Structure 1
Amino acid sequence: MIRRALTTLLLCCLLPVLPANASGKLETVDNLQQLFKQDDHRVLLLLVSQPGCHYCELIKEEILQPMRVSGHYDATTIIRVINIYAGQSLKDFAGIQVDATAFAKRYDAWATPTLLFLDRNGNQIAEKMVGINTPEFYGYYVDKSLSAAQAAINH
């Protein structure tokens, strides 16, 4: 866990010098049902965002993007974004097309930024993270939540 946090911190410093294709944009999810492969035991780390949310952009750029680029989370975590209050729709875990805002409200995630930790069936497996109080420790708290979520999957 400490190794991941240090790697994430290092990537925050190196991200500006990585090739453009390595940094890429975080993916917005449009089909949760097809996100997982059969027997996939990864955690879905889902950022509930909205247009104009400064803190959402901060989390994307300083936390989630470095995590994705590092490769250290590939075997355990799928990182995606949904945009609420923006007219986005997606297929939920049952394959039903729903508005992203309505989907987020299922998890009481009406404020942004909110991080949800979900399993392949859409069950919340770690406590959601709402807002950002301490940016300097945020990566640590994300790692801690991911560890709890992975333990819940493996239990």
Structure 2
Amino acid sequence: MNSFYVNKVFLMILLLLNSTVFAKEITTVKNFSKDAKISLQQHKPIFLYVSSISCVYCKRLDKDVIGPMLKSGDYEKKIIMRKITLEDTDPIIDFNGKLVIPEDFLVDYKINATPTLLFLDHQGKQLSKPLEGYLSADLFWYYLDKAIDRSVEKLRAKSH
């Protein structure tokens, strides 16, 4: 009987720890003008994750890629991570300091599918080809790391 309670407590602790692993989320975009200043000062590209609430592939990407990225802490040293959801209706400040709704902001980037990952400089210009869609983590990590590295290199080359 005693071991039953010990096992139950142990299981509850494991579940709690597991839920906190993915509790950290990408900051939802509020002010690109502010993020642009950070990007310029720190020579970091802005990684913009475009998702949709109803997107099954976004949920998979969150679990397989975004969660581990955040948990590792390694990517925060290289990029400024932000997220925008297609259904967001709260206005944001764009790269020019103007108040816009997210839908209007995304028009310029021609988002055809979710998830889409954009790699932007401090002016909102793309540094690398966007990553559109998601099936599995198998090759996705390779393409993601390559796009991030390419973006970092381009941004640093622009600043010299």
Aligned to 1:117, the other structure's residue is in SS state strand
Q: CA deviation at 1:88?
A: 3.8
When the two structures are superposed, what TM-score results if normalisation uses the length of structure 2? Answer: 0.78
Distance 1:132 1:97, change over 3 A: same
Structure with greater proportional helix content: 2
Q: CA deviation at 1:86?
A: 3.7
**1:103-118 equivalent positions in 2, closer than 5 A:** 103-118=105-120
Q: CA deviation at 1:55?
A: 0.8
Distance 1:48 1:85, change over 3 A: same
Q: CA deviation at 1:148?
A: 0.8
**1:110-149 equivalent positions in 2, closer than 5 A:** 110-149=112-151
Structure with greater proportional strand content: 1
Deviation string for 1:103-142 (max 9, x for gaps)?
1111111421111000122110000111124432111110
Q: CA deviation at 1:154?
A: 1.4
In 1, Cα distance between the equivalents of 2:22 and 2:115? Answer: 24
When the two structures are superposed, what TM-score results if normalisation uses the length of structure 1? Answer: 0.80
Q: How many residues align?
A: 140
> How much is the aligned-residue C-alpha RMSD, in angstroms?
2.1
Q: CA deviation at 1:21?
A: 7.3
Moved over 4 A (4+): 16-19
In 1, Cα distance between the equivalents of 2:97 and 2:139? Answer: 36
Distance 1:110 1:85, change over 3 A: farther
Distance 1:134 1:59, change over 3 A: closer
Q: CA deviation at 1:59?
A: 1.4
Please list every run of 5 or more consecutive structure 2 residues that lacks an aligned counterpart in the other structure: 1-15
Aligned to 1:5: none
Instruction: Name the larger-Rg structure.
Output: 2
In 2, Cα distance between the equivalents of 1:23 and 1:110? Answer: 28
Aligned to 2:6: none
Please list every run of 5 or more consecutive structure 1 residues that lacks an aligned counterpart in the other structure: 1-15
| 1:30 matches 2:30 | yes
Aligned to 2:86: 84
